[in-house]
Amino acid sequence: MKQGSGYKTKQKEQVMQYLTAHPAQHVTAQDISRHLSDCGTPVGTATIYRCLDHLVSDGVLRKYTIDSRTGACYEYLPHSEECGRHFHLKCMQCERLYHVTCEHLSGLDSHILEHHGFAVDHSKTVLYGICESCREAQR
């Protein structure tokens, strides 16, 4: 674990254990809180958010803020720099967040930079819609 801030507590270790057990998954502070409570080691939500903020600052986690109504989700990636190179798709029904690497979307990225002088921050870019599974369930 990267220790940039020097901030290390038992709660932070518990949060990191949860995150490393769920790599490349998008989790919320509530997911972590529920898990720790279920394990008999409850930690306050404010403490979990503080731990998550420190881990984001340390570069251990990536934070996704989807919209003002939805709480942020976090992702532990051992190689988090890879996540800044692709687009994210968010299903508005099941709320799953997909990581998409696609040459067509990369072309869009290049077009935006070349023709509009704008560099897209992929860690903050989310396209909304309905995933294939949810569309099939509707049929």
Identify the pLDDT of residue 2. Answer: 42
Number of domains in the chain: 2
Identify the pLDDT of residue 78. Answer: 62
Identify the pLDDT of residue 3. Answer: 41
Query: What are 42-92's pLDDT values in tens digits?
Result: 999 999 999 999 888 887 888 887 667 777 888 887 655 556 677 888 888
For residue 115, pLDDT beyond 90: yes
Residues 6+ apart with CB under 8 A from 96: 26, 90, 131
Same domain for 93 and 132? yes
CATH classification of the domain holding 126 = 3.30.1490.190
Distances (CA, A) of 104 to 46, 87, 101, 108, 129: 41, 11, 9, 7, 18
Give me the percent of the chain exceeding a pLDDT of 90: 27
Question: What average pLDDT does range 16-36 have in this prediction?
Answer: 88
How far apart are alpha carbons 66 and 50 in whole angstroms?
Answer: 19
Identify the pLDDT of residue 4. Answer: 43
CATH classification of the domain holding 61 = 1.10.10.10
Question: What average pLDDT does range 105-109 have in this prediction?
Answer: 84
The verdict on residue 5 lying in a domain is no
How far apart are alpha carbons 17 and 88 in whole angstroms?
Answer: 25
For residue 129, pLDDT beyond 60: yes
Domain end position, chosen among 24, 43, 76: 76
The verdict on residue 105 lying in a domain is yes
Same domain for 21 and 71? yes
Same domain for 90 and 72? no
Strands 87-91 and 97-100, sheet pairing: antiparallel
Same domain for 69 and 15? yes
Domain span including residue 62: 10-76
Same domain for 70 and 29? yes
Question: Locate tokens 């989790």: which residue?
Answer: 27
Identify the pLDDT of residue 97. Answer: 77
How far apart are alpha carbons 42 and 24 in whole angstroms?
Answer: 24
